[in-house]
Amino acid sequence: MFTFTITAKVPGTLARAGIIETPHGKIETPAFIPVGTKATVKSLTPEQLRDLVGAQATLVNTYHLYLQPGTDILKKAGGLHKMMNWSGPTFTDSGGFQAFSLGADHGRRSKIAGAHSREQAAADFSRSADVEISPNAQTPFARVDDDGVDFKSVIDGSAHRFTTETSIDIQHAIGADIIFVLDECAAPDADHAAQKKAIERTALWAARCLVRHQELKEEKNSRKLSEAAKAAENEPHRQQTMTASSVEAFPPSALYGIVQGGRYEDLRKESARTIGAMDFDGFGIGGTFEKGDMATAVGWVCAELPEHKPRHLLGIGEPIDLILGIENGADTFDCVAPTRIARNGSVYTRNQGRLNLLNAQFIEDFSPLDPTCSCYTCTKYTRAYLAHLFRAKEMLAGTLASIHNLYFVVHLVKQARQAIIEGKWVEFKNSFISP
């Protein structure tokens, strides 16, 4: 079962509050979805993610789970939820961005324009995926054609290929509630012609993903019906109530299409209209953005997409970007930034912006990370203690900082939702942007 219900809107904007219903529970939107790249949010247990952070769902990376541990292990484990002991809703991306990120044919990849070298691309890729690239991988590459993308593993340099069909197959094997089509993400500095080609290929792949997704759903329904029929042979009274509609397919994943187009308004709108006309359960907004124009580009897209379906903004998670993304129509978000910067000693605060706890000023600062925050870290520990942990290179440092950063962004978006419901969006936005 997958549904989306809009419960409140903000007049004069595209902001709205809603509820996504999935087989593993509901997601109250807007919502920030923490990223668990390899079926783990780095340094946190699933219980901490749920109880201390308040996360409603998590997103995992198809590319990396395909490479390690692989779909066979995931199937034997009973799917993602059982393997990682997470009972709530889950998302998987398609793996396309990661496969393209170090491509020799595509050059520089990052979510925000500005990478200028292969070395910078590698750094952007590592940060976006929240992983370290193995030296055994040597020089990764990617070659794309109309049927898919060839790439080398960042683990050992072995050759692999993603097609639309294999990407959907892998995501079904993972068993997530919400999955995404394979798309082509062009480089941030790609010109209009290159971006045009990318949205055309993305649309071609989207249609093929829909076909494969439906085939797998029908196969699973058929298999479930067959299993139920065999069981009913031993219990004749069950035969009278068993029908195709009464047997639930597993996993009943919802499929999202993805809109591309880079920084070009005409291409963003064209892609949104094309993908929006297809029978997807929801939509992802992908690709690359000019740093100052992200919110505008999101608004272009959301104005074209069907209003009654949810929209996910891929890979964006800075606090100000979340607020502007919500105002321009995005319902859910994911990003590795909160945990990545936490492990490097940086934390978000409401009134002081981002703090670097490695700075000398925090060595004797016995105040909480953020006096306005009610997270586990802020209620029990001080800036001085975390500064000590980071300087001493203790593992606990990353855990405590990650708990705070994730709590900060998760609850920032929850506060945004409440402001929308209460009709106080303008006051909330202004208090955050100009405290």
Confidence of residue 245 (pLDDT cuts 50, 70, 90): very low
pLDDT of 380 higher than 50: yes
Q: Percent of the chain, pLDDT > 90?
A: 73
Domains in the chain and their CATH numbers? 34-310 (3.20.20.105), 346-433 (no CATH)
**Beta pairing, strands 16-22 & 3-9:** antiparallel
Is 334 a catalytic site residue? yes
Q: How far is residue 421 from each of residues 34, 139, 367, 416, measured CA to CA in Å?
A: 23, 50, 33, 9
Confidence of residue 244 (pLDDT cuts 50, 70, 90): very low
Q: Name the active-site residue from 124, 281, 334, 370.
A: 334
Is 130 a catalytic site residue? no
276 neighbors 203 (Cβ within 8 angstroms): no
Alpha carbon distance 278, 291 (integer Å): 29
pLDDT of 118 higher than 50: no
pLDDT of 117 higher than 50: no
Confidence of residue 336 (pLDDT cuts 50, 70, 90): very high
Q: Name the active-site residue from 93, 124, 183, 331.
A: 93
Instruction: Quote the pLDDT of residue 288.
Output: 77
* Average pLDDT value for residue range 117-124: 41
In the numeric block, which tokens belong to residue 150? 């060839």
What integer best gives the mean pLDDT of the chain? 88
Instruction: Quote the pLDDT of residue 81.
Output: 94
- Unique residue bearing structure tokens 């001080």: 382
Q: Mind listing the pLDDT tens digit for each residue in 7-18?
A: 999 999 999 999
75 neighbors 173 (Cβ within 8 angstroms): yes
- Between these two residues, 113 and 184, which has the higher pLDDT value? 184
Q: Which residues sit opposite 59 in a β-bridge? A: 35, 91
Q: Mind listing the pLDDT tens digit for each residue in 150-181?
A: 999 888 889 999 999 999 999 999 999 999 99
Alpha carbon distance 45, 52 (integer Å): 10
Buried b (16+ CB within 10 A) or exposed e, 318-351: bbebbbbbbbbbbbbbbbbbbbbbbbebbbbbee
Q: Percent of the chain, pLDDT > 70?
A: 84
pLDDT of 362 higher than 70: yes
Instruction: Quote the pLDDT of residue 130.
Output: 59
Under DSSP, the state recorded for 49 is I
pLDDT of 227 higher than 90: no
pLDDT of 263 higher than 70: yes
In the numeric block, which tokens belong to residue 158? 């072995």
